Chain A
Amino acid sequence: MSSKLAKIEKRTAYLLILPSVLLVFSIILFPIFSNIWISFKNVELKDLRIPEPRAKKLVKSIKDNPTQIKIIYKLRNSSLTQEITNVKFKDKYPDNIEPISLNNKCQFKSNLLKCELGNWPKKYRENLEIVFQDTNNQEISKKELKSYKPKLSGKSQNILLTYEFTLNNFKKVIKDKAFIDLLSTTFYYTFFGTIGAIVFGILAAQMVNQKFFGRTFMRSVLLFPYVAPVVALAYTWELLLDPTSGTLNNLLINYQIIDGPINLLGQKYVTLNILGFDFKLRLALTTVIIFEIWRYFPLAFLFILARLQAVPKELYEAADVDGANPIQKFLNITLPQILAVISILFMIRFIWNFNKFEDIFLLTGGASGTRTLPINVYQQGFSIGDIGMGSAVSIVIVVFLLIFMFIYFKLLGKRADEN
């Protein structure tokens, strides 16, 4: 009895999860694996169009002979790069019409014209002309002839399904001189974006954790950058930072803090003089990181605030009795309590910042030293049009991602053990 019930339970369970599993498999897992396939191929954006045989039908009347008519098929291979093999042609005709003469490729049987057109190389063009005669010697209506459309079929190699593989994409990715630069930019962006978001998250959470007028309102406001659409925010920032008519530059010039406008999103380096030493700061990258921090610190704030509110008040009271100062209280009570949350947060944010595409793409498009790995996927795949290269860069991302995830789940497991 119970085993029967268990069986039913099992079957129901599979039935309930099957749709989700199928969908996720086909849209998420399958593409990740097909990335590997594509990355070993030499595919370009223009190869993705499946080549098809096309025909344009022209109907022409013959002078002084209304009972005959000439049909011209303008045939062509739509692809500029690939050949189509074994092209077959089919067209329907009204009753009482027959061709006068046919070449050996074609046959006419029961109102159907069928042709075997063989193999078409790339860019192939041909005209097929056939003259038809009405069997009852009546006038042929052009309109009816035009209403039938020819059907063509042919086999072409789908470049994605061939078994030709190449290592060139990966060679190009790794040999590229900019690859090291790309990696360092990505890590720079990821690391400082993550750290900054967490630091500001802690500050904000500390503030909101105190009682003051308008606290709930403040909590909502702090989450605004995170919930608003990135497109709107990125373009607003772009206007804000614009060198000529942007508010920030004009404000700084107005108060005589800077002499001339600074192109915060378009200038790669700026030289800072600190204590007599010249520092080269990556300006556009820094601006993008600041945007990143501005947009994502609310998330860290939310997490840390939830944890802070769970810290027992007795700890602080005991510290007051011991005469601890605020800094000591923060370092010895608050920080150890939120450290676990921070480490998890750091990993999650690190993984996500590593993959961040939209923010940089919308602000700078990857120009002036802000090209990270995800931006490179887009540029290789869609700006240059080399799908194979784009996939190879994606694979690089996935490899890094797997390493990060391994660390993350180790951390998560360790934390679960502690609890």
Chain B
Amino acid sequence: MKIKNIFTYCFISSLFLFSLICIWKILVTLQGIELTNFNFNKLFIFGIILCAINLLIGKKLNLNIKIILLALLFSIFDYFISTNLPIWYSFGIFLISLFFFNNIKDYDKNFLSKNHSSQKLFFNFLTLFGITLFSFVILFPFYMMLVTSFKTQALLLLNPLDFSINFAQGLPELFKSYFIVFKDYNFGRYMLTSTIVSLGTVIITLIFAIPAAYAVARLNFFGKNFLSTSILIIYLFPAIVLVIPLYTIFSQLGLRNSIEGLLIVYTATTLPVAIYMLQGYFKSIPKELEEAGIIDGQNWLGIIFKIILPLSLPAISSVALYVFMIAWNEFLFSLMFLDRPNTFTLSRAIQFLNIGAETPRQYLMAGSVVVTLPILIIFVYFEKYLVSGLTAGSVKG
């Protein structure tokens, strides 16, 4: 039993250390440094030895001294088996092994003889490794988008693995793709269109949705239940089944290639979810407040404006942000309805850029950064509101 535990402990720990080192090596490779071998055998066996040493020392030594010692040993070993690498690479290895040995410093013979210790160990490492891996997998495409936009065509073809940013070339050179995208490809105009369309959608949606949501939440009328269930059903219908009839109708009415047409469609498609989200919130406002309003002689409009709206600002902001996000990111309708460059939104413009013969990829990525950055900034800044919007509206996506 004990032997088995010690063996699994060494094996899992060393594997985990090796995986962390692998991620670090990949990152180093992506800085344009030549590194072609993970050195699996040597590092893995040495890791097992160090883990065993860690177990043997246990708590006999000061824990801090122990982890520094072990980390140093590992870094020096790695330094000798790999050649011609810069000093910051080894420093990174040192930090990672420090982090790793810090995590296993408390394990000794006593811990391993406890119940389920190997499973606990496994899940601990899985969590740590999972966090590292998830961050890497999620952030890497965003990082790549950003760095590619700072490069030139020649550099990209020369070494596709070089993702370092060369700050030495000066800012105008660094942001060259952005200048070109805004100047030659008219992205300023597209950005303006996107902003107008998204803000317009938010405003019109709110104007339509607030009264309707209030009616559904508070007033009694025939067909109320039918209406509130059908809101959800309508919301589940996807854009792709609307696109052909809307295309035929809009092209016969001359609404294609117009911002108005886009506004109508975006508003209609976001209205159900806006009503759904708002009515839920309105229901949570105490009825007594409105009754007080009625006694004060307010009419319905007064109640909505003076009592409901100020109280439900958080809900309204999350609806507004959510609708803004949908409108900003929307692609299918803008692909269908816009084919003249003077009415393009950002998403449509980037797609147009991509189908254009041989558009250099740094321009494509610069455009992608231009469309992604505003929405990420808004998301990080208003995260609380947007997350509640996402959760409430997540029946769609």
Contacts and interface: CB of A to CB of B under 8 A. Distances in A.
A232 B395 contact: no
A273 interface: no
A28 interface: yes
Interface string B224-239: 1001000001101111
B49 interface: no
A13 B368 contact: no
A23 B271 contact: yes
Interface string B131-174: 10011011101101100100000001100110100000000000
Interface in B253-301: 264-265, 267-269, 271-272, 275, 300
A253 to B, nearest CB: 10
Interface in A1-56: 6, 9-10, 12-14, 16-17, 19-21, 23-24, 26-32, 34-35, 38, 43, 48-50
A246 B157 CA distance: 10
Contacts of A247: 30, 144, 160-161, 163
Contact of B272 (A24, A158, A362): A24
Interface stretch (A92-100, A127-135, A275-283, A374-382): A374-382
Contacts of B221: 9-10, 13-14
Contact of B394 (A30, A327, A348): A348
Nearest to A27: B268
B119 interface: yes
Contact of B271 (A24, A210, A362): A24
Interface in A214-236: 218, 220-233, 235-236
A411 to B, nearest CB: 13
B244 A387 contact: yes
Interface stretch (B6-14, B59-67, B79-87, B369-377): B369-377
Contact of A38 (B248, B251, B346): B248
B383 A220 contact: yes
Interface in A279-330: 294, 296, 299, 302-303, 306, 323, 325-327
Interface stretch (A57-65, A107-115, A176-184, A391-399): A391-399
A236 B365 contact: yes
Interface residues of B, number: 102
B82 to A, nearest CB: 13
Given A20-B209, A236-B141, A236-B145, A231 B251 contact: no
A21 B269 CA distance: 12
A212 B397 CA distance: 30
Nearest to B304: A16
Given A228-B372, A254-B161, A299-B390, A239 B244 contact: no
Question: Which applies to chain B's interface (DSSP): helix, strand, loop or mixed?
Answer: helix
A231 B220 CA distance: 44
B347 A38 contact: no
A358 B351 CA distance: 11
B110 interface: no
Nearest to B361: A239
B41 interface: no
Contacts of B365: 235-236, 239
Given A231-B331, A251-B161, A355-B240, A224 B233 contact: no
A398 B242 CA distance: 10
A9 B219 contact: yes
Given A229-B329, A231-B371, A325-B116, 20 more contacts: A16-B212, A24-B268, A24-B271, A24-B272, A31-B241, A32-B237, A32-B245, A38-B248, A48-B248, A227-B329, A239-B364, A245-B160, A247-B30, A250-B161, A254-B29, A296-B397, A302-B387, A303-B391, A355-B240, A387-B248
Interface of A: 6, 9-10, 12-14, 16-17, 19-21, 23-24, 26-32, 34-35, 38, 43, 48-50, 158, 160, 203-204, 206-207, 210, 212, 218, 220-233, 235-237, 239-240, 245-247, 250-251, 254-256, 294, 296, 299, 302-303, 306, 323, 325-327, 348, 351-352, 355, 357-358, 362, 374, 377-378, 381-382, 387, 390-391, 394, 397-398, 401, 405, 408
